[in-house]
């Protein structure tokens, strides 16, 4: 057990870290273009933040949170998502005082007790954005386009954008009654979870993954038929802005997302080749969340991207760029005296910006040259007791196998010039 990571977690090993750096670089690049600033929040928060922010009746709060009591008797929870944390930070640090509209993005680990499967872990990584302080449908369109453009920047195709509006509190009250009227005589055919949600949160019946429940819910009323004029107008404008930007989408009246804080716009981006678990990004508007956790009424909207799923999608399309991992220089020291003399050269070359490595064990020339090959070094510098006595080193071009003698006083400058060429 001690030599195995906990179930649902995974090490990111050196061989794959370059892929993560590549994806994170794309995130920071596009967020800078769209005017977003990065935020980093604590990995754990007070449990009540998620209970009030996400909703007591959601699967996340009821079944999936990692909650513990600290030594001070406080209930704390590893963050299962980051919107509530970002909103808490926005309020605590009075970010609203700096600008009327706050645009944040984050990259980090989230934690949910879920059944591990391909691209789905108990510790998983999300990239997300939040826009706080603006209710215009222009903002809805902008962040949806950001999500689409990010996934496209990675080279992903076969993407489907699904769009819906879940209205405001008044719209959902009307819709809630219609849903309960529809499902009331079908309760016996629903799973236990859905029966428990019938009174508390009937919208969640549409989000059940149970095939039998999905069959029963066919023909259920559409929330878009219950939208008030203001919500309908907002939703139409979002569609118009997306269309004007050339963004294709599919209207899906069953799309309600899994968290209670959503209002009006809800969306999801699916990568079709992933099959049943095809969602790689999703989000929506949450105009009531900030007030719910203690702030003044403030509109907000955001999305999150599941990075593990995105990386599975990239593997399917073989989209990772080829990594060129090689050393500029490999230092070969033959004997203890040469090793002591070569160490200042190692530091001096690194200080000049060269990627340099060496053999620390003092092995044979043949073994060290094999190590230089394995490191894909461009040059090898060979220094033995004879070379040291004559005050030069042998500089070997590992690509052409040509070699020459270079004075020790010139070796760093010579290598800097050669590597730049």
Query: Does residue 3 lie within any of the structural domains?
Result: no
Query: Does residue 5 lie within any of the structural domains?
Result: no
Query: Does residue 187 lie within any of the structural domains?
Result: no
- Looking at per-residue confidence, does 57 or 130 come out higher? 130
**Where is average pLDDT lowest: 128-137, 217-226, 339-348?**
217-226
Statement: residue 126 has pLDDT above 80: yes
**Which pLDDT does position 260 carry in this prediction?**
64
**Where is average pLDDT lowest: 113-122, 131-140, 326-335, 366-375?**
113-122
305 is in which domain, residue-wise? 14-168+228-317
Q: Are residues 247 and 359 in the same domain?
A: no
Token duo for residue 165:
């509006």
Contact 60, 54 (CB under 8 A): yes
Token duo for residue 236:
């139409």
Q: Are residues 281 and 254 in the same domain?
A: yes
Rounded to two decimals, what is the model's pTM? Answer: 0.88
Q: Are residues 265 and 370 in the same domain?
A: no
Say which CATH number the domain at 382 has: 3.40.50.800
Q: What is the DSSP letter of 117?
A: B
The whole-chain average pLDDT of the chain stands at 92
Statement: residue 241 has pLDDT above 90: yes
Token duo for residue 92:
């605590």
Query: Does residue 19 lie within any of the structural domains?
Result: yes
Q: Which of 257, 283, 317 is where one domain is finished?
A: 317
Q: What does 141-206 look like in DSSP terms, one character per residue? A: HHHHHHHHHHHHHTT--SEEEEEEE---HHHHHHHHHHHHHHHGGGGGGS-HHHHHHHHH-GGGGG
**Which pLDDT does position 71 carry in this prediction?**
95
Query: Does residue 264 lie within any of the structural domains?
Result: yes
- Looking at per-residue confidence, does 17 or 209 come out higher? 17
**Where is average pLDDT lowest: 72-76, 85-89, 198-202, 236-240?**
198-202
**Which pLDDT does position 217 carry in this prediction?**
84
Q: What CA–CA distance (Å, rounded) separates 38 from 303?
A: 14
The answer for residues whose C-beta is within 8 angstroms of residue 120's C-beta and 6 or more apart is 114, 277, 306, 308, 309
Q: Are residues 107 and 164 in the same domain?
A: yes
Q: Which of 317, 341, 372 is where one domain is finished?
A: 317
**Which pLDDT does position 82 carry in this prediction?**
96
Contact 114, 69 (CB under 8 A): no
**Which pLDDT does position 257 carry in this prediction?**
65
pLDDT band at 73 (very low <50, low <70, confident <90, very high): very high
**Which pLDDT does position 258 carry in this prediction?**
55
**Which pLDDT does position 167 carry in this prediction?**
92
Quote the strand ranges of 341-384, DSSP E.
Answer: 356-358, 379-383
pLDDT band at 206 (very low <50, low <70, confident <90, very high): confident
Q: Are residues 286 and 357 in the same domain?
A: no
Query: Does residue 277 lie within any of the structural domains?
Result: yes
Statement: residue 57 has pLDDT above 70: no
Q: What CA–CA distance (Å, rounded) separates 334 from 364?
A: 7
- Which contacts qualify for 118-123: CB closer than 8 Å, 24 or more apart? 118/277, 118/312, 119/274, 119/277, 119/306, 119/308, 119/309, 119/311, 119/312, 120/277, 120/306, 120/308, 120/309, 121/8, 121/9, 121/10, 121/308, 122/6, 122/7, 122/8, 122/9, 123/8, 123/9, 123/10
Query: Does residue 118 lie within any of the structural domains?
Result: yes
Compute the average pLDDT of residues 372-400: 95
Statement: residue 218 has pLDDT above 80: yes
Query: Does residue 214 lie within any of the structural domains?
Result: no
Q: Are residues 286 and 310 in the same domain?
A: yes
Model confidence over 81-91: pLDDT tens digits?
A: 999 999 999 99
Q: Which of 256, 291, 317 is where one domain is finished?
A: 317
| Count of beta carbons in the 10 Å neighbourhood of residue 169 | 9
Helix (H) or strand (E) holding 98: none
Statement: residue 309 has pLDDT above 80: yes
Total number of domains constituting the chain: 2
pLDDT band at 192 (very low <50, low <70, confident <90, very high): confident
């Amino acid at each position: 057990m001690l030599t195995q990571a906990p179930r649902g977690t995974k090490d990111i090993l050196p061989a794959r870290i370059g892929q993560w750096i590549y994806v994170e670089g794309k995130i920071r690049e596009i967020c800078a273009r769209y005017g977003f600033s990065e935020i980093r929040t604590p990995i754990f928060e007070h449990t009540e933040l998620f209970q009030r922010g996400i909703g007591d009746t959601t699967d996340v709060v009821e079944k999936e949170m990692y909650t513990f009591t600290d030594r001070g008797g406080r209930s704390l929870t590893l963050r299962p998502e980051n919107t509530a944390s970002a909103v808490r930070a926005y309020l605590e640090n009075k970010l609203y005082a700096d600008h009327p509209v706050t645009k944040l993005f984050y990259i980090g680990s989230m934690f949910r007790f879920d059944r591990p499967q391909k691209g789905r872990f108990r510790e998983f990584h999300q990239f997300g954005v939040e826009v706080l302080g603006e209710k215009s449908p222009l903002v809805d369109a902008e962040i949806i386009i950001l999500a689409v453009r990010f996934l496209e920047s990675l080279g992903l195709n076969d993407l489907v954008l699904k769009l819906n509006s879940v209205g405001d509190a008044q719209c959902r009250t009307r819709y809630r009654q219609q849903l309960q009227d529809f499902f009331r005589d079908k309760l016996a055919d629903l799973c236990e979870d859905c029966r428990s949600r019938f009174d508390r949160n009937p919208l969640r019946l549409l989000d059940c993954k149970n095939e039998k429940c999905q069959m029963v819910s066919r023909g259920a009323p559409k929330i878009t038929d219950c939208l008030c004029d203001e919500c309908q107008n907002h939703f139409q404008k979002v569609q118009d802005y997306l269309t004007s930007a050339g963004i294709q989408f599919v209207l899906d009246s069953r799309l309600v997302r899994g968290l209670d804080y959503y209002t009006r716009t809800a969306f999801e981006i699916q990568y079709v080749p992933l099959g049943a678990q095809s969602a790689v990004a999703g989000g929506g508007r949450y105009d009531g969340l900030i007030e719910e956790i203690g702030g003044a009424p403030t509109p907000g909207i955001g999305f999150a991207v599941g990075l593990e799923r995105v990386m599975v999608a990239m593997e399917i399309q073989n989209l990772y760029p080829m990594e060129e991992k090689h050393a500029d220089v490999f230092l070969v020291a033959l004997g203890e005296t040469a090793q002591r003399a070569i160490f200042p050269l190692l530091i001096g070359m690194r200080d000049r910006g060269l990627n340099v490595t060496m053999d620390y064990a003092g092995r044979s020339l043949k073994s060290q040259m094999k190590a230089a090959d394995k490191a894909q070094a461009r040059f090898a510098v060979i220094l033995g007791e004879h070379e040291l006595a004559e005050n030069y080193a042998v500089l070997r071009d590992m690509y052409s196998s040509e070699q020459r003698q270079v004075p020790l006083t010139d070796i760093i400058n010579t290598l800097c010039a050669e590597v730049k060429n």
